[in-house]
Structure 1
């Protein structure tokens, strides 16, 4: 059964805690949002620690600091408490994301869609997307793994969520 990537209750990973920042309980957080400070605006947020325990978070306060954010979280007021959260993940429900602009997509919504080329050759399903720095890449798993540039309209000619299908202009032998 295919995963419904647009399920409003599906959790979206927004950030990861890398440990303490200073001695007052501030946290070093890697944000997966764009811009990275957008993580601070989402609600509700759920923290899942390395043991799988969950808790709903109140409002986060933070600011950019080098690579990532420095974040203050209610109930975390010492270096030890902050370090205990190392590896914890911060999630929000899909329903809390604003609608994407026309022609733009949340990567998570593309995961699980079938990929076909213009000749109808099925390449497989989107496993995930990643950025190489030069461009975004759609990783498609099928008879083999393919890394396809996610560039519209050059390579990605259409995305049809109703049909759960992405059409690409790509040679199946490449």
Structure 2
């Protein structure tokens, strides 16, 4: 597990006065401002955040030190991180998506099913996107207690009982 967690990304400028389009990866999008200062992955830049309003597909925000459209546009695609210790601890059956990505997934018999490439929220439940060995296409595994009975972050593995025919 990394000591930093990605909580958002800058999608570009919003307007001409230095506001940015901010994509928040927090459960409640506006809460991203509560974790400030947000920093780049390498820690070279740090920003305080003021949410100005909700916009389509995200938030409009002011970042400290960004005062023009050109400066905001230059930040397009930048991911924003916070130290893990600034995030709230989670109950035993909840996980930060960043902690699941990269974990190996085995079936209940120990056979390798794949590696988690992404966690996708489809509105009802999360899906684990797996890269299965020897397959070009990824497989979407429902991330429910019935299908994924064990997530062992300490051992870096997930045990799954996939629905019949999902990996054939």
For Structure 1 versus Structure 2, the TM-score category normalised by the shorter chain is 0.7 to 0.9
Equivalent residue of 1:103, what SS? coil
Q: What's the counterpart of residue 165 of structure 1?
A: 157
Mapping for residues 1-174 of structure 1, pairs under 5 Å: 6-7=1-2, 9=3, 11-47=4-40, 54-57=44-47, 59-62=48-51, 63-143=53-133, 144=135, 145-152=138-145, 154-170=146-162, 171=164, 173-174=167-168
How large is the Cα RMSD of the aligned pairs?
Answer: 2.3
Q: Which runs of 5+ in 2 are unaligned?
A: none
CA shift, 1:173, in A, is: 4.0
8 Å contact from structure 1 (residues 29, 68) kept in 2: yes
Q: Which runs of 5+ in 1 are unaligned?
A: 1-5
Instruction: From the superposition, tell whether residues 84 and 162 of structure 1 become closer, same or farther in structure 2 (CA, over 3 Å).
Output: closer
CA shift, 1:20, in A, is: 2.1
> What TM-score does the superposition give when structure 2 sets the normalisation length?
0.82
Deviations 1:39-75 (A, max 9, x none): 1111442136xxx893122x21113223211111122
1:135 and 1:114 map into 2 onto residues whose CA distance is: 20
